[in-house]
Amino acid sequence: MIVPIASDHAGFEAKEKAKKILENLGHTPVDFGTHSPDSVDYPDYAIQVSEKVNSGEHNLGVLICGSGQGMCMTANKYPNVRGALVYNDNAAKLTRQHNNANILCLPGRELSDDDLESVIKVWFETEFEGGRHDRRVKKIHSLTDKK
């Protein structure tokens, strides 16, 4: 799967590691920046990945900043995006199973290398359960359908 990925300066190092993890899982990461640890504004990078997922061009994406929160807030401004801020394996599993999250938002300064690898692996290998969860996800989307 082609996976758009981006970070700000605080997530740059983790993004470089995440790209290798994705490749090892058989995915093809497409890097939308930033391409150095020099200070940048995270929304500029979150927008690029979020637009790709929102339009349906890509099914899943990854965003990384220092806390993960700024990227997540930006991503969730798009009506077809369900960005999930994930700090551990359980959250990775549940945000895919129950929320059908389609953008993984990671805290680049908070996860060890082993935790980063584990979270990405769990998130990408977990499928949406559907059923009662589908009804709930549709209710989330109904909020933007009314505007």
**pLDDT tens, position by position, 83-102:** 999 999 999 999 999 999 99
Domain residues for 18? 2-145
Q: Please list the active-site residues.
A: 65, 98
CATH number where 30 lies: 3.40.1400.10
* Nearest 10 degrees: Cα torsion 119, 123, 124, 130: 170
Cβ count within 10 A of residue 115: 15
Give the containing element (helix H, strand E) for 106. strand 103-107
| pLDDT at residue 141 tops 70 | yes
Q: Is the pTM of this model over 0.85?
A: yes
Q: What are the tens digits of pLDDT across the range 1-24? A: 999 999 999 999 999 999 999 999
Number of domains in the chain: 1
Amino acid letter at 68?
A: G
| Confidence band for 140, pLDDT divided at 50, 70 and 90 | confident
Where does residue 4 fall: left (phi above 0), alpha (psi -120 to 50 degrees), or beta otherwise?
Answer: beta
Q: Answer whether 66's CB lies under 8 Å from 107's CB.
A: yes
92: its two tokens: 């990775």
- What value does the mean pLDDT take over residues 105-122? 97
